[in-house]
Structure 1
């Protein structure tokens, strides 16, 4: 009997030892565990029972940790509620906030005026109280304050007198300066009256209707054109100005300008740019003797490059001018020639162009747009001719307009060139007659000339096709080209 009991105890001890080795990883055998409170249903039953117990323990730990986290969160919410209660009206935190109960008042809310009125009433009450106190103090301490006031009064006149003495010259200076200013204005007005005498009775005031337009500058327009006249005399071109050139002739100049007309047309430049270009070329060739023949085209494109920067809103790049020369010159050559031209011309490109005077003269003649385009055509033809390069821009503009008015109106030159035109252009018909006949000669011979760029450009419908007008093919202009210029002398 004892032997059987010992065997059972050994078996139980053996099972417990092997099961412990399984959990420690020392054996691969799975044996049932026999413990108190568990029924021996096999290895799987025992193992499942142990895993469920461990799972229950883990769930219990998670529940405890969750409860502690919720407790901390509530504490944090309470601190947030207490610290940021002043911004609850701006930010909705989503928390239930207990708002203080406010007893509604029967009186409506105060307006802004009422609130300020209450403040003003309080301020007025304070001032009244302060005044009363000061009056009482004044009656009580009148004897003590009286000598102090007398001493202060005795000091005040000296200070005021010093200030007045210092202020006397300050008051005198503005009156003197105003007097000088009025005197200067009167002198200036007298000078203007002497400079611009009243118009003759047979001369129309073409600026009378422009007094209300600030863009037309009717107050300064006469001074402006007087200044332009001085500039064209200052920067004048001499007759036969290429006489100092050993390699460049008038034909080469005409060839260059005729080619520049095509460049201006290709780049869509304004007419002011072309006329200013011709002026720059003539001034440079007059100032610099012995310009080489292979440098003449470089001078031409550089002059147009300068004129386009002076007149155009969007000037072509220097590479464009290099391209039209078929890369004969480089950008560095153009820049070097630009510096040379500007230094020789004294960095001044303010020489007037014929178009500036032509606008003024067309206004004085009450001419049409057709008269204006035809006069521009005559001016551009004259710029190509070397024999007419020495004429002043105002002379070319006046002669071209006179011829345009004569051809389109079928009136005589005497009828066209009125005293008003003589006054505003400052040229008589006798002075303009030889220039008119030279222009007529150029227009008649343009068909046989090899310089036809100007003629082709004015075939544009935007310019009214004035180069193909029938008036330029009739006998009136041919007669002017044949008759000698001594008719009005």
Structure 2
């Protein structure tokens, strides 16, 4: 009987297996796994088959409740593990691990469900932490208290509302700026020594002092034109204090003079050697396309240095000249030539080290001061006062450059050379006499009378007339350029007017 019953049960099991083994045929129901019965693994899914198991009752319900309690307590750890894996997924560091993770068959939660679940999880986590703390030392309790206090402070900050911009304006409007009224401020007294002076009196005193400072430059006479009156709207022309600037330049001329025959103490250097050097520097200026200010400053540095060093060897004269132009180019030029360029133009007669040493020596002898004015600065001012043309300006610059080469003209001040040059230029390019050309306005702004500059004009005329017979042709060739109006080839420079000035002695001798 037992054998028969056992065979019957075995047959039932085999029949059931045969039914399950049939695949691909219609009307055969293969049992599948019900949704909601799986339990998530490392990613933190939980068992959702709670309701079905609770319906069974008895021990199954009790086991399910215990499982739910354990799952609730371990959700914090599970969530942290999931966050760790998710961060690696986002950064691509754990791509191989992500491949084995199976997506959940559970449908995505709505926002209301997800937020409710987060709140429930947070509450369960807090209860679990508090329960664990009860069994731990007091140190952990203190840390939990600090954590709770911190959360309360954060919640207080979030709930506190900052006043808006409109409320701030209303608050500032209500609060008084000063406790004392403005009327009492006008009665305030300031102590000065033994007495007191009111603010109003001090204001009047400051205005009077300002007017006195502005009136340092004397008022123009009635017959003198104010050549700066139309420059008030141009900040580059500095019409407010341009007169004081030229007054200061005149003082610098007197402070750094060049003596008459300043090479008389030199043992080897002569005037002809100086003229040869400066004539060569004119060609260097043209080769490097340097501005005229650089050339004028170069000549001033050379004369001041030769006046301070009376024992310069003749072999060092060219080194002094090229180093002086190197210094002047750094002072005036936007893009100064390199020291190697100056070594090249000397045909490597001097090294870079020798030029640097000469530069230090020159600056030390000049007291590191290059503030001595140049003739070109005054010439621009005088051309403006004479209402001269560009041709007058170029011709006057030609006369000044000729004077810089000539040793006998080196002791004249830059302003004297500029005044004589513009006067001769105006005279040759017009049919007026010298007395008519040198107007009271020119006399006022230059500071020289015609009697003072007449001898300089006649010496300059003699130099211009003898240019053809002079071996120093660099300045003459330079002003043959069309950009300078070819003033060195003007027929007025070979006319009777300039010849008479060169022959006749000065009327004021």
TM class, shorter-length: 0.5 to 0.7
Unaligned runs of 5+ in 2: 1-37, 47-78, 88-102, 114-160, 168-178, 180-184
Residue equivalent to 1:27 = none
What's the CA shift for 1:178?
A: 8.0
What is residue 125 of structure 2 aligned with on the other side? none
Q: CA offsets per residue over residues 81-103 of structure 1, 9 Å max, x none?
A: 9969xx9xxxxxx997443379x
The alpha-carbon deviation at position 401 of structure 1 amounts to: 0.3
- Deviation by residue 1:61-86 (Cα, 9 ceiling, x = unmatched): xxxxxxxxx997894699699969xx
TM-score normalised by the chain length of structure 2: 0.64
Q: Which of residues 325, 344, 364 in structure 1 aligns to 2:365?
A: 344
Rounded to whole Å, the distance in 1 between the matches of 2:380 and 2:40 is: 91
CA deviation profile, 1:377-420 (whole Å, cap 9, x unmatched): 00000000000000000000010001111111221111111111
**For residues 212 and 418 of structure 1, what CA distance do their matches in structure 2 show?**
27
| Residues 1:218 and 2:264 are matched in the alignment | no
**Distance in structure 2 (CA, Å) of the matches to 1:185 and 1:422:** 34
Give how far 1:185 is off: 5.0
Q: Assess, with a 3 A threshold, how the Cα gap between structure 1 residues 211 and 219 changes in structure 2: closer, same or farther.
A: same
2: CA distance between counterparts of 1:373 and 1:270?
A: 14
SS in 2 for 1:301: helix
2: distance between equivalents of 1:459 and 1:287? 36
Residue in 2 that maps onto 1:289: 310
1:186 is displaced (CA, Å) by 2.3
Bigger helix fraction: 1
Could you give the per-residue CA deviations for residues 6-57 of structure 1, whole angstroms, max 9, x where no partner exists? xxxxxxxxxxxxxxxxxxxxxxxxxxxxxxxxxxxxxxxxxxxxxxxxxxxx
1:186 to 194, 208, 212: 208
Structure 1 residues 292, 100: closer, same or farther in 2, change over 3 A?
same
Is 1:447 matched up with 2:468? yes
Cα distance, 1:176 vs. partner?
6.5
Separation in structure 2 between the aligned mates of residue 374 and residue 466 of structure 1, nearest angstrom = 6
The alpha carbon displacement at 1:189 in A equals 3.0
Structure 2 distance, partners of 1:295, 1:469, is 38
Equivalent runs, 1:266-345 vs 2, <5 Å: 266-345=287-366
In structure 2, the partner of 1:100 is: 111
1:434 counterpart residue number: 455
**Whole-angstrom distance in 1 between the partners of 2:350 and 2:232:** 51
**SS at 2:225's partner residue?**
coil
Deviations 1:213-242 (A, max 9, x none): 221111110110000000001101011000
TM superposition shift of 1:177: 8.2
* Equivalent runs, 1:59-74 vs 2, <5 Å: none
Q: Which secondary structure does the structure 1 equivalent of 2:237 belong to?
A: coil
1:248 to 237, 256, 269: 269
Provide the residue aligned with 1:129 in structure 2: none
Q: Which runs of at least 4 in structure 1 moved beyond 4 Å after TM superposition? A: 70-74, 76-84, 94-97, 173-182
Instruction: Identify if the C-alpha distance between structure 1 residues 183 and 469 changes in structure 2 by more than 3 Å, giving closer, same or farther.
Output: same
Q: Aligned partners of 1:217 and 1:183: how far apart in 2?
A: 27
Secondary structure, aligned partner of 1:422: helix
Q: How many residues align?
A: 355
Q: In structure 1, what is the equivalent of residue 501 of structure 2?
A: 480
> Which residue of structure 2 aligns with residue 358 of structure 1?
379
Instruction: Give unmatched runs, 5+ long, in structure 1.
Output: 1-69, 88-93, 103-116, 124-159, 161-166
The correspondence for 1:172, drawn from 190, 194, 202, is 190
Distance 2:442 2:490 in 1: 25
1:340 to 1:182, Cα distance in 2 relative to 1, 3 A: farther
Alignment of 1:13-162 (within 5 A): 75=43, 97-100=108-111
* Deviation, structure 1 residue 425: 0.5
Determine if the alignment matches structure 1 residue 260 to structure 2 residue 281.
yes
| TM-score normalised by L of structure 1 | 0.66
Q: Relative to structure 1, is the Cα distance of residues 178 and 279 closer, same or farther in structure 2, using a 3 angstrom cutoff?
A: farther
Match of 2:253 in 1: 232
CA shift, 1:197, in A, is: 2.4
C-alpha separation in 2, matches of 1:470 and 1:265: 25
Report the aligned-residue RMSD: 3.5
